[in-house]
Structure 1
Amino acid sequence: MSKSGTIRTGIGGWTFDPWNESFYPAKLPRTRQLQHAASKLRAIEVNGTYYGSQKPATFAKWASEVPDGFVFSLKASRYCTNRKVLSEGGASAEKFLTQGITELGDRLGPILWQFMATKQFDPEDFEGFLKLLPKEQDGLPLRHVVEPRHDSFRTPEFIELIRKYGVAATVADHEDYPMFPDATADFVYARLQRGSDDISTCYPPEDIDLWAKRLKTYAEGGMPDDLTLVAPDQTAPNRPRDVFAFFITGGKVNAPEGAMTLQQKI
C-alpha cells in the first residue's frame, strides 16, 4: 500500500474570458482550451452539468482530450438537490447518472451534490437522499460528495450519516458557508473560495503553503490539526486518501495559477 493518496488540484470549468489573457496562450482556439488546461492542471470541476444534461458523445470527447490521470468532477443536476423533499429525487438522480457520464471512464472524478443555502438538515430525508446515490454506474465505481450550505448540517449526526454511506462533504473554504473538515470517505474534496483577483496566485503564498500542508496530511491518512472538526469524537480510519482541491469563485481570474502553484507545493 502506498503511503499517500493522490492529490489533484484544479479549477471550475475551462471557459472564462479573462483566462484568454491570464492563462491561455495568445490566439489559442477555444476548441483547444480544454487540452491546454488539462496539460497544466490535474482536475476540473464541471459546473455546466448542474444546469443541463450533456450527450454521451460530449463526455467521450472530453475524455479523449485529457491525459491519463486527469479527472473531471461533475456537479449534479440542480433538479436533484433543489427540492423540498430530497428523498423524492430518485427519477432526477437516475436521469443525471444515466445521461452518459460513464463515457468519461477513468476520467470521471467525484460527483458533487450541492444544496441551496436555505436547505436545512433533516436526518430522515437526507438519509433517504443518500440511499439514491449508487456506488457504481454501468460497472464504473462512483464517488459522491455533498455540499450543504446551511449551518444546521454542522452536527455530529450529519457526519455519522454520510460516513455510514461512504460519502464525503466539502471542505469549503468560504466566507459564509460551513466547512466540513471531517474525513468520511476514501477521499477528501476541498473547494477554495476565498481567493482574490488582486493576488497573482489567487490565494496569498502563506495560505497556499497552509493548504498544501493540510492536503498532504489528508492524503497520508491524517487530519489537519488546525481545522475544527464537526464530530471530533468520531474516529476516521487512518489510511491513504485521494484528495481533490478546486479554486472556485473568489479570485477566479487567477484560479489556474493558484491551482498550479498549490500542485507544485505538493
Structure 2
Amino acid sequence: MTTKGTIRTGTAGWVFEPWRGTFFPEGLVQKKELHHASRHLTSIEINATFRANQKPASFAKWAGETPDGFQFSIKGPQLVTHIKRLKDCAPALANFFASGPLALGDRLGPFIWQLPPNLAFDAASFETFLNLLPQDVDAYLRLAAAADGVKQPPYLEPNGVTLIRHAIEMRHPSFDDPSVDALLRQHNIARVIADTPDNPRRDLTADFAYCRLQGPARPDAAGYESADIADLAKTMAGWREAGHDCYAYFVHEDKLHAPANAMALAQELGVRAYS
C-alpha cells in the first residue's frame, strides 16, 4: 500500500509591508510576523539565503518560531547560480551548506536553486553541478566540512535532519530538453513547476513536487481565481495519492494575495495549518 504524500502550501518569504493590515493583523509587531504566518501557512521559502549566507543562530531562531510539522525551503545563493553560473562552485556550495541550514532541524525542507533567465543549458556544467549537490546527510556533512575562509566554524550538527532534497528552477527555454529531465530523475531533483502560459508543464522528475506558482497558465490571467485553485488542487491531490510530497508556493506578481491563495489551496486539499 502506497503511503500518501504530504502537501505544504505557502509563500516566498514572510516580510512584505503590504501584508501588514491584510494578512497580518493591524498592530502585529514585525518580530511576531513569522509566528503568525507559520500558523496560517504550512511552508515558507527563505529568500535571505539568496543574497548572503545566514548564521546558525538565525536558522535556529526561525525554527523556534514555527510549529511542529511546518517546513522551510531554502533558496540557494546567487553566488552559485547567478555569479558563478554553476561553474567552479564547489567552494561556494561548501560554505553555504556549512552556514547552518541544518540548524532548522525537522523544519528543513528542500533547497531551491533558481537559475537566471539568461543561463542556457550546458550539459557538462549542469551535470557537474548536479553531481556536487549532496543527496543525503553524510554527503552534506562531507561537503560542508570542506568550507574554507568562513568567519565561523562549519555547522556540522545533523540536528535530526534525515532527508536532503533539491529543486531547480530553470528559466531558459533550452532546458526544455528530455536530457535535462533524465539528469534530474537520475539525481532525484525536482524540476520547478511554474504554472505559466510559457511553461505550463507539470512533469515530476523526483519523488516530490516543487511548485513556484507564477501563473495561472491562462493567457491574460490577472491572478489566481477559484477555478485555478481547484485545478491545482486536483493535480496535487493526484501526486499525494501516488505518495509524492508537494511544496507549493505562490510567488507571482500578485504578491498581495499570495497568502490567501496558499490558504485557499490548502483548504481545497483539506490541508490544515499546524499549531
What is the CA-CA distance between 1:173 and the residue it aligns to? 1.8
Q: 1:85 to 1:24 in 2, by over 3 A?
A: closer
1:246-265 aligned at under 5 Å gives the runs 246-265=249-268
CA contact (8 A) 2:85 2:119 kept: no
Q: 1:42 to 1:132 in 2, by over 3 A?
A: same
Between the aligned residues of both structures, percent identity stands at 42
Q: 1:84 to 1:30 in 2, by over 3 A?
A: closer
What is the CA-CA distance between 1:55 and the residue it aligns to? 1.0
Q: Which runs of 5+ in 2 are unaligned?
A: 142-157, 217-221, 270-275
Q: 1:25 to 1:202 in 2, by over 3 A?
A: farther
Moved more, 125-134 or 83-92: 83-92
Is 2:235 aligned against 1:214?
yes
1:133-153 CA distance string (max 9 Å, x none): 012234432100011100100
SS at match of 1:53: coil
CA RMSD in angstroms, aligned pairs only: 1.7
Cross-structure match for 1:184: 205
Cα separation, 1, equivalents of 2:128 and 2:196: 28
Cα separation, 1, equivalents of 2:241 and 2:226: 23
Cross-structure match for 1:167: 189
Cross-structure match for 1:244: 247
Letter in 1 for 2:79: Y
What is the CA-CA distance between 1:208 and the residue it aligns to? 0.5
1:109-128 aligned at under 5 Å gives the runs 109-128=109-128
Cross-structure match for 2:102: 102
What is the CA-CA distance between 1:187 and the residue it aligns to? 0.7
CA contact (8 A) 1:45 1:75 kept: yes
What is the CA-CA distance between 1:3 and the residue it aligns to? 4.1
Cross-structure match for 1:229: none
What is the CA-CA distance between 1:175 and the residue it aligns to? 4.9
CA contact (8 A) 1:170 1:180 kept: no
SS at match of 1:21: coil
Task: Give the TM-score, by structure 1 length.
Answer: 0.87
Is 2:166 aligned against 1:144?
yes
Cα separation, 2, equivalents of 1:3 and 1:250: 35
Cα separation, 2, equivalents of 1:202 and 1:2: 35
Task: Give the TM-score, by structure 2 length.
Answer: 0.84
1:66-92 CA distance string (max 9 Å, x none): 001100011000011114652411111
What is the CA-CA distance between 1:2 and the residue it aligns to? 5.0
1:189-241 CA distance string (max 9 Å, x none): 0111126xxxxx951000000000011112222xxxxxxxxxxxxxxxxxx11
SS at match of 2:39: helix
Cross-structure match for 1:4: 4
